[in-house]
Chain A
């Protein structure tokens, strides 16, 4: 019995003195049980609990576990702030994902053939990932200052000094309903190095012979890029897009520290936090969280399936 735990066909039974030993799968389960219990309770149990709260009318300092059907969800649908947030997160996700993808791809492309001091460039592009979003936001808050005239500061000041004054922007304080797009700048700064790493690894995984044979056949660099690299990178791009979307949906600290309370850059995750813990609307907070979770699950669920399937192959 003890012999069957490894990925091996069970051996002919060797009846040794160790008969009393627990079967392998049970020991394995035992080894995992602390984690299974913790994950079960703290992730799935809590998700269930949160969904439960979203069906109640719990407001304020006394938990109320009544059942109000979908009232909170319909109320959310009619909630002006939620609508703004939903729109904001859509704008942000689009700009952030496209931007980070483009920038990350560009960096990977520039590095792909190997540059002298490649490690240096990679290090510079990737280091923001080691830094907390709070620290990132603190620096960017000043860079995205929108003072004008004598108060011109931050990036605007840099633009003015470089003779690029026309690039001046009010950033996330702009009156435009695209103000939240400005947040993609610090977010992209923080995360496009990650996209670069993905693409670079993806590009290097393409056997060199493919490219070389294309070149020998007289293909230009662009043709190599388009006909050899593009199809080969499709899975990496797919992964990067989904991961970035899910990051974008969860964005919290960055905006919190950048300019909290500015509804121009409000997102569902911030609304959840403030309505729950400042306003005491636990019912609404739980509802927003549930919708957020569903959004992430719709993106990530199929992705996990896809990955597991390709891995098995």
Chain B
């Protein structure tokens, strides 16, 4: 008679019991908490973030730091969750974005607060290079605090491979690269290692930068130079040729296997950002200028195409005072010096202690601080294009891989630029 009722109760009871551990999952709690949203979950960056958090908590006793990290610069769920929280006006207290136009939609939709006053108060305009400040500025205001700087326009190689093949040195222009590539191909090796879709976009912007030069590169993304203009179409044609010397068809894995092929010597060059350095030093146990080397990608010597992880102050943050303190920590010399050596990037500030940065990073820091260096922003990493435009470029490049229609690519990019600005 009662067994059905007992059964139902048992089911509900077990369900509740099994659900209890859930409550421990999200963590958090406490009144004075600061929720910071980032995608720093990889090796190095996670430790760097932890060091900053530690310092922050030492200074602000009693605050609970909620690390709402969601993985993967490439993982789209990070962006998706953040986007929906912003849509619902339920933002974390501070969230990470790439500095630059990746923030544009947030700004136009009123999701983030103007930090210009904070910049003035902290004197950040004096310690950050002008090219960076330009790229941080949207509609005349600044909305994010950069913690670190990565460089995108680098070409990596193994010096020994160049010696074996009798190549005098890495190419200075893409035309020279194509010459070398033909010789490399005849020697039975791959001229350029490439990885998945986003690494192709990374190569794409690098070729554009090298072929167009910094000024026209910036004009292109500012809309004053059209994709279908002759010089840009010529650059696109170069990209197509460069790609034809890559292992695009057989490439497997993400950027690490791409770099691995350079280390192994089956491929000669790879275009990749400077996070490759900490991978080569750490995982592959290679030394700068011995096992591996990098130069500015062809045609971009003296130009520093950067990307930067930056934090924001969202509109409607629950704990804005604490969030502002966090931003101050992010912009401080101490904070940047705690984070960057671990992450394998350089501080955005030009007055941070240079002694902490050796090997590749020492070289990079020198370039970054050189007043003659021209600073431009990376496309693939959100500086010079907003999210919508970037997503459309993804589609267009993916289609281009299939149909090789150069003119179609240029026309599509012109059209989507207009549609997403």
Contact = CB atoms under 8 A, between A and B. Distances in A.
A84 B402 CA distance: 10
A281 interface: yes
B87 A61 contact: yes
Interface stretch (A46-54, A99-107, A256-264, A301-309): A256-264
B399 A173 contact: no
Contact of A281 (B388, B401, B408): B388
B108 to A, nearest CB: 7
B80, B197, B387: most-surrounded residue (chain A CB, <10 A): B387
A177 B402 CA distance: 8
B87 A81 contact: no
Interface stretch (B25-33, B210-218, B365-373, B389-397): B389-397
Given A173-B249, A278-B76, A61 B402 contact: no
A240 to B, nearest CB: 32
Nearest to A150: B266
B394 A261 contact: yes
A87 B272 CA distance: 33
Interface stretch (A22-30, A140-148, A186-194): A140-148
Contact of B80 (A147, A177, A277): A277
A40 interface: no
A86 to B, nearest CB: 13
A62 interface: yes
B391 A275 contact: yes
A10 interface: no
Contacts of A148: 250
B3 interface: no
Contacts of B408: 80
A213 to B, nearest CB: 47
B196 A262 contact: yes
Contacts of B252: 145-147, 173
B76 A61 contact: no
B197 A261 contact: yes
B111 interface: yes
A65 to B, nearest CB: 13
A173 B398 CA distance: 12
Contact of A61 (B80, B109, B197, B266): B109
Interface in B33-90: 76-77, 79-80, 83, 86-87
B387 A279 contact: yes
A262 B106 contact: no
A273 interface: yes
Contact of A263 (B87, B390, B399): B399
A295 interface: no
A145 B253 CA distance: 9
Contact of A262 (B86, B197, B266): B197
A151 interface: yes
Contacts of A274: 76, 391, 394
A80 B399 contact: yes
B198 interface: yes
A281 B389 CA distance: 10
Nearest to A256: B76
B398 A261 contact: yes
Contacts of A59: 388
Nearest to B251: A173
A61 B196 contact: no
B87 A63 contact: yes
A202 interface: no
A60 B250 contact: no
Contacts of B392: 279
A80 B388 contact: no
B105 interface: yes
Contact of B198 (A147, A261, A263, A280): A261
Contacts of B108: 60
B404 to A, nearest CB: 10
B238 interface: no
Contacts of A263: 197, 395, 398-399, 401-402
Interface in A114-149: 145-148
Contact of B83 (A61, A84, A175): A61
Interface in A140-165: 145-148, 150-151
Contacts of B198: 261
A61 B412 contact: no
Interface in A260-274: 261-264, 266, 273-274
B253 to A, nearest CB: 9
B79 A60 contact: no
Given A81-B399, A277-B80, A259 B109 contact: no
A71 interface: no
A278 B111 CA distance: 17
B143 to A, nearest CB: 14
Contacts of A253: none
A262 B83 CA distance: 24
Interface of A: 59-63, 80-81, 84, 145-148, 150-151, 170, 173, 175, 177, 259, 261-264, 266, 273-275, 277-281
List of 7 A-B pairs having minimum Cβ-Cβ separation, nearest first: A279-B391, A263-B398, A277-B80, A261-B197, A61-B109, A81-B395, A62-B109
26 contacts: A60-B105, A60-B108, A61-B109, A61-B111, A62-B87, A80-B395, A80-B399, A80-B412, A81-B399, A145-B252, A147-B250, A150-B266, A170-B250, A173-B249, A261-B198, A261-B394, A262-B398, A274-B76, A274-B391, A277-B80, A278-B79, A278-B387, A279-B391, A280-B387, A280-B391, A281-B388
Given A60-B388, A281-B388, 18 more contacts: A60-B105, A61-B86, A63-B87, A81-B395, A81-B398, A84-B402, A173-B249, A173-B251, A177-B402, A261-B198, A263-B399, A263-B402, A274-B76, A274-B394, A275-B395, A278-B80, A278-B394, A279-B388
